[in-house]
Amino acid sequence: MPKDVVFVINPGSTSTKIGLFGREGAIQVQNIDHAGTPLSKMATISEQLPIRQEEVAGTLKSWLSDENLVAVVGRGGLLKPLRGGVYRVNQAMIEDTLECKYGFHASNLGASLAEGIARQYDVPAFILDPVTVDEFIPEARISGIPEIKRRSRLHALNIKACVRKAAAKLGKEPDALNFVVAHLGGGISVAAVQGGNIIDCNDALLGMGPFSPERAGALPVEGLLRLAYSGEYTFQELCTKLSKRAGLMAYLGTNDVCEVLKRIAQGDAEADLIFRAMIYQIGKEIGAMATVLQGKVDRIIITGGMAHSSQVVEALIARVGFIAPAEVFPGENELESMAEGGFRAIDGLEEIKTYTKE
pLDDT per residue as tens digits for the range 54-93: 999 999 999 999 999 999 999 999 999 999 999 999 999 9
Report the predicted TM-score, pTM, of the whole model to 2 decimal places. Answer: 0.93
User: Where are the domains positioned within the chain?
Assistant: 4-135+335-354, 158-331
Query: Could you tell me whether strands 326-330 and 299-304 are parallel, antiparallel, or unpaired per DSSP bridges?
Result: parallel
User: 48-75 burial, b for 16+ CB within 10 Å, e for fewer?
Assistant: bbeebbebbeebbeebeeebebbbbbbb
Q: Is 142 helix (H, G, I), strand (E, B) or coil?
A: strand
Give pLDDT, residue 41. 76
Q: What is the pLDDT of residues 204-225, one digit of tens each?
A: 988 799 999 999 999 999 999 9
Give pLDDT, residue 161. 96
Give pLDDT, residue 35. 74
Give pLDDT, residue 115. 98
Q: Is 310 helix (H, G, I), strand (E, B) or coil?
A: helix
* Predicted confidence band of residue 103 (pLDDT cuts 50, 70, 90): confident
Query: Average pLDDT of the chain?
Result: 95
Q: What is the pLDDT of residues 299-342, one digit of tens each?
A: 999 999 999 999 999 999 999 999 999 999 999 999 999 999 99
The reply to whether 4-135+335-354 and 158-331 are identical in fold is: yes
Answer whether 174's CB lies under 8 Å from 167's CB. Answer: yes
Give pLDDT, residue 340. 97
* Predicted confidence band of residue 1 (pLDDT cuts 50, 70, 90): confident
Residues in contact with 108: Cβ distance below 8 Å, sequence separation at least 6, in sequence order: 45, 77, 78, 97, 98, 100
Residue 13: pLDDT over 90: no
Give pLDDT, residue 121. 97
In a 13 Å sphere around the CA of 345, the CA atoms on its Cβ side amount to 27
Residue 2: pLDDT over 90: no
Pick the CATH number of 4-135+335-354 from 3.40.50.300, 3.40.720.10, 3.30.420.40, 3.90.550.10: 3.30.420.40
Residue 31: pLDDT over 90: yes
Assign domain 158-331 to a CATH class: alpha beta
Residue 17: pLDDT over 90: yes
